[in-house]
């Protein structure tokens, strides 16, 4: 029997992974793939919007339009937009890494131990790479 490809599965509109399903079955992978892909597309769209806003602010500032107060506001806007863009780029890297894990069959499993992270945790945080216990241990050592 051929293995189902998660990319080709059409899930019911209200589908949610269930504990009764085999862990990271094709339907669950399709669910997470769809969520992560949608988030990725949204971030890329936001990134383009932020970059356009930065370009417009720079053009306005370089054109000499406005006084010092206006220029300070433009600079503040550019700085904020660039911070948002940086944060979104980091999130985009995490999403791409999660999509890679779906592709190579390691999504939903700890990067440290290989243990199942758990469907409830993955639904709450699809970018999770550690079990709750491992994450708590890591946080203890960071304090």
- Tens of pLDDT, residue by residue over 96-114, are 999 999 999 999 999 999 9
pLDDT value of residue 2: 42
List CB contacts of 113: < 8 A, sequence separation 6 or more. Answer: 131, 134
Look over the chain and give the mean of its residue pLDDT values, rounded to a whole number: 87
- 3-state DSSP call for residue 109? strand
Confidence at 1, pLDDT banded by 50, 70, 90: very low
Adjacent-strand bridge partners of 116: 109
Q: Is the CA virtual torsion 98, 100, 103, 108 positive or negative? A: negative
For 38-91, write each residue's pLDDT tens digit.
999 999 888 877 777 777 766 666 656 566 776 677 778 778 878 888 899 999
For residue 29, give the H/E element and its range: helix 26-62
pLDDT at res. 78:
78
Contact between 87 and 115 under an 8 Å Cβ cutoff? The reply is: no
The C-alpha atoms of residue 11 and residue 27 are separated, in whole angstroms, by 7
Out of 18-22, 46-50, 122-126, which region has the weakest mean confidence (pLDDT)? 46-50
21 contacts 11 by C-beta, under 8 angstroms? no
Q: Give the whole-angstrom CA distance, residue 38 versus residue 32.
A: 10
């Amino acid at each position: 029997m051929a293995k189902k490809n998660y990319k080709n599965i059409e899930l019911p509109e209200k589908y949610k992974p269930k504990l009764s399903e085999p862990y990271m079955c094709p339907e669950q992978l399709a669910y997470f793939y769809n969520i992560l892909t949608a988030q990725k597309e949204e971030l890329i769209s936001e990134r383009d919007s932020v970059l356009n806003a930065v370009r417009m602010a720079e053009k306005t500032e370089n054109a000499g339009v406005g006084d010092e107060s206006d220029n300070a506001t433009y600079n503040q806007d550019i700085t904020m937009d660039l911070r948002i863009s940086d944060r979104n780029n980091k999130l985009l890297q995490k999403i791409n890494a999660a999509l890679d894990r779906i592709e190579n069959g390691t999504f939903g499993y700890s990067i440290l131990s290989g243990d199942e992270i758990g469907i409830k945790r993955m639904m709450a945080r699809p970018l999770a790479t550690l079990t709750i216990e491992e994450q708590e241990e890591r946080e203890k050592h960071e304090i």
